[in-house]
């Protein structure tokens, strides 16, 4: 039987890391066509770093304060990504805007998950903004990353209803369940392509 090698993922996080954990859980299925090669965080205290370490995955931190400027910070991260042999780079709650140099270097294989139905609600605080705007539908988007924040080509979306008594927290929890499914499903599709 010929087996295709699994694609390697670099996952960039800044905090909780629940999307990274969901991807990790998917990779435990032997039929999933990708595995996590490295987890990178710009925040030494990110909970997701501990999760990755416990799972035996290479986990590295690159704090902005340890580099003289943004270009050097990004160069160190790019070196780690390249050394890991990652085929697909997944931003999963990574809270820094990446430069055009960075996004161009990984064009077509750098993806992000964003908690809104883009192009609606780019940026932060998406759940409260959706409620305030009177939306009846909200959700999440996986998109390619380009230099424009949350502006790259949309790959897939998942929708949830906005309920009359929703708070940002209840809506966020409903969206997060969909994020965890959507991200792995897009990664599987890209890894098989
Ligand atoms: C998620 O809602 C993701 O869509 C957004 O940041 C959040 C990260 O959550 N980009 P987690 O760190 O994956 O738990």
Domains of the chain are: 7-192 (3.40.50.170)
**What residues are in contact with ligand 1 under a 6 Å CB criterion?**
13, 15-19, 92-93, 113-115, 140, 179
Of 175, 181, 187, residue with least CA distance to 117: 175
Percent of the chain with pLDDT over 70: 99
The Cα-based distances of 169 to 8, 55, 97, 120, 126 in angstroms read: 33, 28, 25, 19, 11
Residue identifier of the C-alpha nearest atom 5 of ligand 1: 93
Tell me, yes or no, if the pTM score tops 0.95. yes
Nearest ligand 1 atom, CA 140: 4
pLDDT tens-place string over residues 58-89: 999 999 999 999 999 999 999 999 999 999 99
């Amino acid at each position: 039987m010929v087996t295709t090698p699994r694609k390697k993922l670099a996952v960039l996080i800044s905090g909780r890391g629940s999307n990274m954990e969901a991807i990790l859980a998917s990779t435990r299925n032997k039929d999933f066509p990708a595995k996590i090669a490295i987890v990178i965080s710009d925040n030494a205290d990110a909970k997701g770093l501990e999760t990755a370490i416990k799972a035996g995955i290479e986990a590295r931190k690159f704090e902005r304060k340890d580099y003289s400027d943004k270009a050097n910070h990004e160069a160190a991260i790019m070196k780690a990504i390249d050394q890991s042999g990652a085929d697909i780079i997944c931003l999963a709650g990574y809270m820094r805007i990446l430069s055009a140099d960075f996004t161009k270097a990984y064009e077509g294989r750098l993806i992000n998950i964003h908690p809104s139905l883009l192009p609606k609600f780019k940026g932060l605080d998406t759940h409260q903004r959706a409620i305030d705007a009177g939306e009846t539908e909200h959700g999440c988007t996986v998109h390619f990353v380009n230099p424009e924040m949350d502006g790259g080509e949309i790959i897939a979306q998942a929708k949830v209803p906005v309920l009359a008594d929703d708070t940002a927290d209840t809506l966020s929890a409903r969206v997060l369940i969909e994020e965890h499914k959507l991200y792995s499903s897009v990664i599987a599709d890209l890894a098989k392509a």
